[in-house]
């Protein structure tokens, strides 16, 4: 007797190989049989006639931890309803552990009401235990944030790091990985990490890989300096002799869109020279980011606090304005998504506020930063659909959301979240597989499952095979689609029949069960396991 038997479905197994017809049986969290099981019985049976059965989607670039949803609302419903069964946190240089200095704790409290969260951990082991205690709705693994351990070594200072401080960071990194973290991430676009040089990054990347993990990086610049930033990332990989994953690769701003030709060439050349490189991409032309990243680097390079102090000086304020007016960014089209100020500001374009106040869009941006102490999140329609398509089709690309797990009730906060939080994975199927036929079903599923599992070393996940964990999605290939839009992102997708997490049905049609089945995936030397 099996625990679960799925009959009459079509298996898209996550390897990229052709789909095939088979039944699938689950016992004790694992897939134990594939083939003709028509005469077998189970405690629960699902008829998947006309449906595809795939591995659960793995979101390698997820921020449910750093936006605190993982702790405040651990179901991560908008991820689960997309078919996501595993999320990887600690991205873009920020992780919620280790908390080795009060400055680290302050830095990770930016985007939450801290009264909702009980800080009861310092180490990575304690943090992962806390996640386990809260029973996540999907599996969770985390990278170690470079910015987190850098602050632990040198607090809020942004000067050149010393060899002794690099050694401290290495100790933090090794300890966190021994306690279960799966690698290192950098967020070189953010102020505290901008002072990090190639030597620092190479040494830490080498340490992460030596400890059995992965190196992922959010590159330094996505605009005019994109090519140099990708060159730097690949140089670090070559110097350290490590595989590399580039987070949400994109060219921001119309004048920079042609740079993606050179970027793809750099990546492909590096691969030919034995650099194991991948990157992730989300299927939208709009971005979501911290507002201060739109400012000239010279005013942000010494950190948020110094940026605010500089902007308070009238002459510096005017100098920043002059530089903003010289670049290609259309600040008028920036939409305020999250603000620590009045909720009246969210969902508004900078152009609207500029008109009301009789100011230029650039002035509104600076005034908003000053009023919010630098803490505002915005979205912008600044990417090329052509580049998004090329990135999705690229053989080295992985599909990710760069999102956060919410539920529709979050709409009551007034925050304008990005539709990628609700629709990323179904959107790829609806738009790029079914409508544009830019990918086959097998290719798309591989980019969401087997490929990320292999890159991030998630043992026995990402494929449908005997002995693998039963993280599964059953969906209708004719109807699966996203519904979330920029105007109304709080809409779940359609066409998903069931989502199974570790062998248990977590989503049954429109119904989410009361119990959560996710596990914390900790690193072991020979792979990643949930214990």
Q: Is 198 helix (H, G, I), strand (E, B) or coil?
A: helix
Domain co-membership, 200 together with 321: no
The average pLDDT across 135-156 equals: 94
Domain of 47, in residue numbers: 2-54+492-529
Domain co-membership, 333 together with 218: no
Domain co-membership, 401 together with 423: yes
Of 149-158, 243-252, 325-334, 437-446, the least confident: 325-334
The CB density around residue 223, as the number of other CB atoms within 10 Å, is: 19
pLDDT digits (tens, 9 = 90+) for 345-375: 777 889 999 999 999 999 999 998 998 888 7
Residue 464 maps to a domain: no
Residue 153 maps to a domain: yes
Q: Assess whether pLDDT exceeds 90 at residue 509.
A: yes
107 or 162, higher pLDDT = 162
**What is 466-484 written as a DSSP string?**
TTSB--EEEE-TTT-B---
Domain co-membership, 224 together with 345: no
- pLDDT at residue 529, rounded to an integer: 44
Domain co-membership, 226 together with 90: yes
- Report the DSSP pairing between strands 214-218 and 183-187: parallel
Structural domain ending residue among the three candidates 380, 414, 437: 380
Query: How does residue 330 score in pLDDT terms, banded at 50, 70 and 90?
Result: confident
- pLDDT at residue 202, rounded to an integer: 96
- pLDDT at residue 5, rounded to an integer: 98
Q: Is the dihedral of CA 290, 112, 286, 379 positive or negative?
A: negative
- pLDDT at residue 450, rounded to an integer: 98
Query: How does residue 117 score in pLDDT terms, banded at 50, 70 and 90?
Result: low
Domain co-membership, 276 together with 298: no
The average pLDDT across 198-214 equals: 95
Domain co-membership, 163 together with 279: yes
pLDDT digits (tens, 9 = 90+) for 47-90: 999 999 999 999 999 999 998 999 999 999 999 999 999 999 99
Structural domain ending residue among the three candidates 360, 380, 400: 380
Q: Assess whether pLDDT exceeds 90 at residue 317.
A: yes
Q: What is the Cα Rg of the chain in Å? A: 23
Domain co-membership, 204 together with 141: yes
Q: Assess whether pLDDT exceeds 80 at residue 489.
A: yes
Residue 470 maps to a domain: no
Domain co-membership, 220 together with 82: yes
Domain co-membership, 102 together with 186: yes
Domain co-membership, 436 together with 509: no
Q: What is the pTM of this model?
A: 0.90
pLDDT digits (tens, 9 = 90+) for 374-418: 877 788 888 999 999 999 999 999 999 999 999 999 888 777 789
The CB density around residue 454, as the number of other CB atoms within 10 Å, is: 17
193 or 14, higher pLDDT = 14
- pLDDT at residue 193, rounded to an integer: 85
Residue 466 maps to a domain: no
Q: Assess whether pLDDT exceeds 50 at residue 531.
A: no
Q: Which of 116, 203, 196, 114 is nearest to 148 (CA)?
A: 196
- pLDDT at residue 528, rounded to an integer: 46
* Residue 207 CB partners (closer than 8 Å, separation 6+): 170, 173, 174, 184
Residue 315 maps to a domain: yes
Residue 399 maps to a domain: yes
CATH of residue 17: 2.30.40.10
Residue 465 maps to a domain: no
The fraction of the chain above a pLDDT of 70, given in percent, is: 94
Mean pLDDT of the chain: 92
Q: 422, 491 in Cβ contact below 8 A?
A: yes
Domain count, the chain: 3
pLDDT digits (tens, 9 = 90+) for 412-444: 877 778 999 999 999 999 999 999 999 999 999
The fraction of the chain above a pLDDT of 90, given in percent, is: 76
Residue 416 maps to a domain: yes
Domain co-membership, 96 together with 233: yes
137 or 374, higher pLDDT = 137
Structural domain ending residue among the three candidates 354, 380, 406: 380
- Report the DSSP pairing between strands 335-339 and 376-381: antiparallel
Q: Which of 13, 43, 39 is nearest to 28 (CA)?
A: 43
Q: 282, 420 in Cβ contact below 8 A?
A: yes
């Amino acid at each position: 007797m099996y625990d679960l038997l799925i009959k009459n479905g079509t298996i898209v197994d996550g390897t990229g190989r052709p789909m095939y017809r088979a039944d699938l049986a689950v016992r004790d969290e694992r897939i134990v049989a594939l083939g003709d099981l028509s005469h077998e019985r189970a405690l629960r049976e699902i008829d998947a006639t006309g449906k595809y059965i795939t591995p659960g989607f793995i979101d390698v670039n997820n921020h449910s931890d750093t936006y605190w949803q993982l702790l405040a609302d651990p179901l991560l419903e908008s991820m689960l309803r997309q078919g996501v069964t595993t999320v990887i946190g600690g991205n873009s240089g920020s992780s919620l552990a280790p908390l080795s200095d009060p400055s680290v704790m302050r830095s990770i409290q930016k985007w939450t009401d801290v009264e909702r969260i009980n800080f009861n951990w310092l180490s990575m082991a304690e943090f992962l235990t806390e996640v386990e205690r809260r029973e996540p709705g999907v599996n969770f693994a985390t990278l170690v944030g470079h910015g987190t351990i850098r602050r632990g070594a040198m607090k809020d200072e942004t000067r050149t790091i010393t060899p002794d401080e690099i050694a401290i960071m290495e100790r933090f990194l090794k300890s966190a990985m021994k306690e279960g973290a799966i690698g290192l991430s950098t967020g070189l676009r953010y102020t505290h990490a901008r002072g990090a040089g190639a030597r620092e990054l190479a040494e830490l990347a080498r340490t992460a890989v030596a400890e059995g993990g992965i190196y992922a990086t959010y590159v330094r610049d996505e605009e005019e300096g994109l090519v140099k930033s990708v060159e730097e990332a690949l140089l670090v990989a070559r110097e350290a002799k490590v595989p590399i994953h580039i987070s949400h690769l994109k060219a921001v701003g119309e004048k920079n869109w042609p740079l993606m030709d050179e970027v793809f060439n750099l990546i492909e050349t590096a691969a030919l020279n034995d650099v194991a490189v991948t990157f992730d991409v989300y299927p939208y032309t709009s971005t979501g980011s911290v507002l201060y990243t739109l400012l000239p680097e010279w005013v942000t390079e010494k950190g948020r606090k110094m940026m605010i102090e500089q902007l308070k000086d009238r002459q510096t304020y005017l100098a920043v304005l002059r530089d903003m007016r010289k670049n290609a960014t259309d600040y008028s089209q920036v939409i305020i998504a999250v603000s620590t100020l009045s909720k009246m500001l969210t969902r508004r374009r900078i152009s609207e506020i500029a008109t009301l106040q009789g100011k230029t869009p650039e002035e509104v941006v600076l005034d908003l930063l000053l009023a919010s102490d630098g803490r505002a999140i915005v979205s912008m329609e600044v990417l090329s659909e052509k580049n998004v398509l090329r990135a999705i089709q690229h053989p080295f690309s992985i599909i990710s959301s760069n999102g956060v797990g919410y539920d529709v009730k979050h709409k009551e906060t007034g925050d304008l979240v990005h539709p990628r939080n609700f629709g990323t994975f179904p959107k790829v199927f609806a738009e790029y597989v079914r409508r544009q036929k830019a990918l086959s079903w097998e290719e798309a599923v591989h980019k969401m499952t087997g490929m990320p599992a292999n890159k991030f070393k998630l043992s026995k996940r990402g494929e449908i095979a005997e002995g693998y964990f039963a993280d599964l999605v059953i969906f209708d290939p004719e109807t699966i689609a996203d519904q979330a839009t920029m105007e109304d992102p709080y809409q779940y997708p359609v066409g998903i029949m069931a989502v199974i997490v570790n062998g248990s049905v977590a989503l049954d049609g429109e119904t989410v069960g009361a119990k959560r089945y996710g596990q914390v995936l900790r690193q072991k030397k020979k792979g990643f396991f949930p214990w």
